Structure formats: structure tokens, C-alpha cells
């Protein structure tokens, strides 16, 4: 009867072991079948699928087409006109007969002049207009079009760098979640082993029943932490998959790691200088100021004259054929003597220049603060890694000593459990410090406009 009870008591343990083996085998099979994903590939997929990047690239193409349109203003405009008119208006009849080359002496009679019969006139003409001097407006439009295209390209670069930063944070965030789960899983195994040992010690009378109860409580705590860690893995994986344009449930083997490495950075003053030279958004602000200057120059040039050449070749006939041709050619100059709104337009443009200059200064200050903040986060994260490494070593040694003391009945089981919890916290803090170090270095590259190549993080 006692043996039967023992078998029944062991059945849940055996069942849990079998289920654990099945889940472990399934996870291992999934790891083998899941495709590998490195950081560079993740970034490439994100760049291909992100709609914001496609939108900015489209804006660049639109700006390029505007430049082409502005350049066509120097080319002549050719128009073709075909018309048919019938009228007995004396002036129309008189002029149309002259156009058709059919005016005769009989047409000078008073009756023909005052009360002519209706006349058909088919008029075919080709007109050409070519600008010679357009107040430098085409030049200004081309210049502003180039500025717009450069700004659009910089906007694309800005979106691209921010997208790379997002992928870096989510990619290594997923790796961090995996590593935290591994550390917690190891803590669960240790807690299970403690629970088993204390139960055995209670059975032989070496320790009190309270130690077994404390071990079970600690096991429940770490199992709860494991559940939270598993949830974090699912969420970070889903965020990464969405960032690279995949389904949230897609499984990848992430080839990156959070191993300790050193990312060199410049000192603070050099970082700010580099940022003001390379940040896409600050360069856009400089171009916005240039655009305002060009707009003001364009308005001031409106006081200059406009000169254009024109020419027309025409053909008039009552029956489409058998008519007479004519041509007209010349040069026209026009000049606006008085434009009451020009002064106000110039003043508006000058104020826009001042606003663009103020925005540039504001952005420069903001960039300097972002660079300083990123640098300090980087140096803090680097220092935290060294502190966390020492903490892990000390926690491991403390746990070893306390375990030996507990075996010798010198210390209590609660102290051993506290030491194990301290070791788990130290391992978690070390992993989080490494993650913060990676992200802080990416933040420096983003703040200085140099987050163009992510291979340094994945090697």
C-alpha cells in the first residue's frame, strides 16, 4: 500500500518531467527549422517595408520633377490653332479677304464695304513664344527646386536612421528578453532542486518543515518571474517582426548577442560639432534658410523687365485650300511700373527668413542637448556593466559560501534563498546594462547623424 502511494505521489513529478522534455524537444526543433536573422538583414527588411521611408522617397522624386518643369521655362512654347469662322461683319470680311489674298478693286465699292455677303474663313496658325529674360524667375525656381530635392533626400536619410535605431532597440530588446528568460529558467531549475532537497532533508529529519515551505514559496516566486519573462519574449518578438514587415508570430533565430564589447566615441565637444555637420534635420534647417533667401531674391527680381520673342505663321482660306499664308515675328518687353503688393511680399519673405534662422538656432540647441544626454547615458551604461560584472561575481561567491554554511547548519535556508535571489537580480542587471550600452551607443550615432551602418553591432 505504501509503495502504491509513493507511485501516486511521484506521478505528477514524472508527468511534469515528460511534458518538459516534450516542450524542450519542440523548442529545439523550432530553433532548427526557424530561419536565422542578423541585425543587418533585419534593418534591410525594415527599410524595404516601412511606409514612411517610401513616402519620403516619393517626395524626393516629386521635387526632381519640379526641377525638370522649371528648366522647361527656358524652352519655347509652340501652339497650333485651327478655326473656322463665317460672318458678314464688314471689318471681318475686309480683313479676311486680305488674309486670303482675294481682295480686288471691286471690293472697294461702297455696297461691298458696307453690306458684304457672308464669308467663310478657315484659319490655321502656329505660334511660338520664347523667353529671353524672365526676371530670373526660372533661375530661382530651379534653385528652390534643388533645395527642395536635397531637403527631401535629407528627410529620407533622417527617417532611415530613426528606423535603424528602432530596429536596433527592438532586435536587441528581443535578445535581452531571451537572455532574461534563460536566466530565470535557470533560477526555476535551482528553486526546484532546492525544493526537492529540503523535502528530502525534512523526510530524514535534518531540517524543519518550515524550510520546505520557504523553498516552495521561493519556487512559486521564480515561476511567476518566468511567466513574466515568457510574456516579454512574445511581446518583443512581435515588435521586432512588425518593425521588419513580418507577421507578429513569425519565429526567427536571432544571431546577435549581448556580449561585452567596446564602442569608442569622441568627447562631448567633438560630438556636438559632428552632429551640427551631419544631422539630417539640422541640414534641412540650413536649407530652409537658403530657400527663404532665394524666395526673397525672387520677389525682388520682379521689378526687372520681362523680354520674350514671339512668332506666328498663319494660313487663311475660304475652302481650307487655295488660300494665302502670312507670318508675324517680333520681340516684346514688359515692365511693371507700379506693383502695390510687392513691398508687402518682400517684407513677408524677410520675416520668413528670420523665422527660419530662429528655428535653426533652436534646433541647434536641442541637438546639443540630445548629444550630451546620449553621451552621458553611454558612459553611465558602460560603468554599470563593470559594476554589474563585479556584482555577479560577488553574488556567486556569496551564494557558494552560504550554501556551504547551510550544509554545515551554520546559516539558515532563508539566507541561501536571499543569496540566490540576489544572484538572479545581479545577472538581470548585467544583461540590462549591456542592452542599455548597445542602445546608448546607437543613440549617440543617431544624435550625431551617423547611424548609417549597423554592422558594428552584429559582429
Q: Output the tens digit of pLDDT for each of the chain's 459 residues.
A: 434 333 344 444 444 444 344 434 444 444 555 789 999 999 999 999 888 888 988 988 998 998 998 888 888 999 999 999 999 888 888 888 888 888 877 777 877 788 888 888 998 899 999 999 999 999 999 999 999 999 999 999 999 999 999 999 999 999 999 998 998 888 888 778 777 766 766 666 665 666 677 777 777 888 888 898 899 999 999 999 999 888 988 888 998 888 888 898 998 889 999 999 999 999 999 999 999 999 999 999 999 999 999 999 998 888 876 778 889 999 999 999 898 999 999 999 999 999 999 999 999 999 999 999 999 999 999 999 999 999 899 988 888 888 788 777 677 777 777 888 888 889 899 999 999 999 999 999 999 999 988 888 876
CA distances from 328 to 85, 127, 237, 262, 419 (A): 21, 9, 75, 78, 102
Specify which residues 308 forms β-bridges with.
131, 332
CB 172, CB 258: distance < 8 Å: yes
The domain 141-189+232-304+338-457 is classified under which CATH number: 1.20.1250.20, 1.20.1600.10, 3.40.50.880, 1.10.443.10?
A: 1.20.1600.10
Specify which residues 324 forms β-bridges with.
316
What's the grid cell of residue 151?
531637403
CB 128, CB 77: distance < 8 Å: yes
Backbone angles phi, psi at 315, to 5 degrees: -140, 125
Backbone angles phi, psi at 338, to 5 degrees: -145, 120
- Distance between CA atoms of residues 271 and 3, nearest Å: 74
Amino acid at each position: 500500500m505504501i509503495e502504491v502511494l509513493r507511485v501516486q505521489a511521484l506521478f505528477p513529478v514524472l508527468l511534469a518531467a515528460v511534458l518538459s522534455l516534450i516542450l524542450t524537444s519542440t523548442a529545439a526543433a523550432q530553433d532548427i527549422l526557424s530561419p536565422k536573422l542578423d541585425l543587418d538583414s533585419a534593418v534591410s527588411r525594415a527599410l524595404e517595408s516601412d511606409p514612411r521611408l517610401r513616402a519620403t522617397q516619393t517626395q524626393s522624386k516629386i521635387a526632381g520633377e519640379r526641377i525638370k518643369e522649371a528648366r522647361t521655362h527656358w524652352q519655347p512654347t509652340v501652339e497650333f490653332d485651327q478655326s473656322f469662322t463665317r460672318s458678314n461683319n464688314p471689318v471681318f470680311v475686309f480683313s479676311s479677304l486680305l488674309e486670303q489674298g482675294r481682295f480686288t478693286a471691286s471690293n472697294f465699292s461702297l455696297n461691298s464695304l458696307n453690306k458684304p455677303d457672308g464669308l467663310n474663313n478657315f484659319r490655321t496658325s502656329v505660334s511660338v513664344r520664347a523667353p529671353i529674360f524672365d526676371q530670373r524667375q526660372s533661375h530661382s525656381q530651379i534653385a528652390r527646386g534643388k533645395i527642395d530635392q536635397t531637403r527631401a533626400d535629407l528627410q529620407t536619410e533622417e527617417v532611415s536612421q530613426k528606423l535603424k535605431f528602432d530596429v536596433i532597440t527592438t532586435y536587441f530588446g528581443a535578445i535581452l528578453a531571451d537572455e532574461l528568460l534563460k536566466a530565470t529558467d535557470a533560477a526555476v531549475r535551482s528553486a526546484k532542486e532546492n525544493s526537492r532537497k529540503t523535502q528530502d532533508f525534512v523526510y530524514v529529519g535534518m531540517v524543519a518543515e518550515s524550510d520546505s515551505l520557504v523553498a516552495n514559496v521561493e519556487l512559486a516566486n521564480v515561476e511567476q518571474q518566468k511567466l513574466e519573462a515568457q510574456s516579454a519574449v512574445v511581446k518583443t518578438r512581435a515588435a521586432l517582426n512588425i518593425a521588419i514587415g513580418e507577421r507578429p508570430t513569425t519565429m526567427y533565430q536571432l544571431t546577435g548577442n549581448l556580449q561585452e564589447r567596446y564602442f569608442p566615441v569622441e568627447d562631448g565637444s567633438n560630438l556636438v560639432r559632428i552632429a551640427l555637420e551631419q544631422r539630417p534635420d539640422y541640414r534641412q534647417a540650413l536649407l530652409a534658410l537658403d530657400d527663404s533667401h532665394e524666395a526673397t531674391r525672387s520677389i525682388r527680381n520682379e521689378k526687372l523687365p520681362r523680354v520674350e520673342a514671339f512668332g506666328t505663321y498663319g494660313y487663311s482660306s475660304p475652302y481650307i485650300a487655295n488660300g494665302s499664308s502670312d507670318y508675324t515675328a517680333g520681340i516684346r518687353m514688359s515692365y511693371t511700373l507700379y506693383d502695390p503688393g510687392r513691398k508687402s511680399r518682400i517684407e513677408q519673405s524677410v520675416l520668413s527668413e528670420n523665422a527660419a534662422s530662429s528655428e535653426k538656432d533652436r534646433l541647434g540647441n536641442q541637438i546639443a542637448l540630445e548629444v550630451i544626454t546620449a553621451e552621458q547615458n553611454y558612459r553611465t551604461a558602460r560603468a554599470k556593466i563593470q559594476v554589474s560584472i563585479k556584482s555577479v561575481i560577488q553574488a556567486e561567491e556569496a551564494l557558494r559560501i552560504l550554501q556551504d554554511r547551510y550544509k554545515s547548519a551554520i546559516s539558515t535556508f532563508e539566507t541561501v534563498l536571499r543569496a540566490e535571489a540576489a544572484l538572479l537580480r545581479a545577472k538581470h542587471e548585467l544583461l540590462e546594462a549591456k542592452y542599455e550600452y548597445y542602445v546608448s551607443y546607437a543613440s549617440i550615432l543617431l544624435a550625431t547623424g551617423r547611424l548609417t551602418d549597423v554592422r558594428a553591432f552584429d559582429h
